[in-house]
Structure 1
């Protein structure tokens, strides 16, 4: 069978399978605490994906009460040092760059020859404006072997969170190339922050078997995979407002997917040389604040 035909069959299967039902079953399986079963699942997964447990805060596989606890494991404090330059925009996750570049004419690149709109990604109402035109985006894919907590690229104050119900297509190079508007169709959580460079958005995209997306301020947002309309939370600017420091954890996935980072225009640039396929790590510099660079604080 040719690779092209195999890819077409894989995409066709994505449309046919009961995505939500399968994801809900995986959610339950990942939280089972029966020792023989959870031990078998964890050990087989760690062996298959060659997980380096020396980086984990708890290196003993048997110490985790469930597969989900293992999958969302914390790393040692020294495992992912943060770039010390305050002008650096940090990578928010471990993963690989799927696409990176400018936001032009309200469009983001999904794959070669395929793009989609910022409005659809952010689930904006018709005519609703956004602050990212002319800015920059980075799409970072998390594989099953990666660390699955998401951290802040900059100091930020939470302005808004939107849970967008949607499909649960698998997210990988094949579906990115073959499923139109993939990231704007899948279930996702849109988190918008006010930062020192202005508004920044982090979009946590769900996928098949991603049975849970959660944040540090709201806990588990999904599941349930229910409802047809987006749910929106606006956060007040007061003494109780939610502020997160650069490098602090902001959320996590159960099973892998994708984080999309949006930056405003004229405020930052990506590191030169970053291209699709590059492996990146939490805490490394992936961009630079232009205000700091102009002031002589960049590298």
Structure 2
């Protein structure tokens, strides 16, 4: 019954209004408020501050600065083995595997469309049909910056408006097409392994999504928006393997897609496996 009530509340709550209110609170600089919130959160979720570039909780100007904190140099060493494809974020593997019949496995009894996930463009989606996907869930205690699994040149970014359902395991098992329904930023890169999509999926109380090249992604008007970054549009944006790509202000999910026969995921990873940014998630399939 408790689970059913939680799922029902997901449909009834005013997602965007609630997220905006939480976003305002997360930017509050009043010392008495932000210090209590940060200290409560760090204790509640057992956040490991020993690896943070700034360890003192009271040093952060507001909650969002704490939540998107940088790590110390060397805290996330990159796997430099030949052909390694890196995890883009800290968290847990929600699911990973093959894209079959244009759909991505979400949870038992549920999948979602690649076409819808990527914004509804059939030409864009065609590059990933029959390819591979990995879905990484970032929990509240995790490091919340997202990094490049491979070096790549940004081709385009698509802002896709949508709902803001929670993205935890309970909602993944009960909300159909969850990741193709939520607000998201789709980033398409050209890499040595062909096209790579990194999708930053928003969630309940996620105040915003940012990228290193565009800053705040979620615009005031929730309309589909495509920004081209090819040579004809502007100077190319090239990011090295392991370089920061973007960040979540409050947690969510990152989904990585590759085309067919380009990547083979490491056998030790399955649903629920913990993973850290920079860890070898897979490798070239050839």
Instruction: Give me the TM-score of the superposition, normalised by structure 1.
Output: 0.93
Q: Give CA deviations for 1:186-236 in whole Å, capped at 9, x if unaligned.
A: 000000000000000000000110001000000011253x33x31000112
Within a 5 Å distance, the mapping from 1:55-204 to structure 2 comes to 55-125=51-121, 129-204=125-200
Task: Name the CA distance, whole Å, in 1 between partners of 2:138 and 2:69.
Answer: 14
Q: Secondary structure at the match of 2:17?
A: helix
Within a 5 Å distance, the mapping from 1:16-27 to structure 2 comes to 16-27=12-23
Q: Give CA deviations for 1:108-159 in whole Å, capped at 9, x if unaligned.
A: 0010111111001111236765201111001110000000000000000000
Alpha carbons of structure 1 residues 20 and 77: separation in structure 2 relative to 1, 3 Å? same
2:278 corresponds in structure 1 to 283
Q: Secondary structure at the match of 1:22?
A: helix
1:295 corresponds in structure 2 to none
In structure 1, runs of 5+ residues without a counterpart are: 292-299
Report how many residues are paired: 285
Alpha carbons of structure 1 residues 65 and 128: separation in structure 2 relative to 1, 3 Å? closer
Q: Secondary structure at the match of 2:126?
A: coil
Alpha carbons of structure 1 residues 287 and 126: separation in structure 2 relative to 1, 3 Å? closer
Maintained 8 Å contact 1:213/1:223: no
2:236 corresponds in structure 1 to 241
1:232 corresponds in structure 2 to 226
**Counterpart pick for 1:274 among 260, 263, 269:** 269
Q: Give CA deviations for 1:20-76 in whole Å, capped at 9, x if unaligned.
A: 111000110000001111000000000101111110001011110000000000001
Q: Secondary structure at the match of 2:141?
A: coil
Alpha carbons of structure 1 residues 118 and 8: separation in structure 2 relative to 1, 3 Å? same
Q: Secondary structure at the match of 2:217?
A: strand
**Runs of at least 4 residues off by over 4 Å:** 126-129
Task: Name the CA distance, whole Å, in 2 between partners of 1:139 and 1:127.
Answer: 22
Task: Name the CA distance, whole Å, in 2 between partners of 1:110 and 1:247.
Answer: 26
Q: Secondary structure at the match of 1:222?
A: coil
Alpha carbons of structure 1 residues 124 and 54: separation in structure 2 relative to 1, 3 Å? same
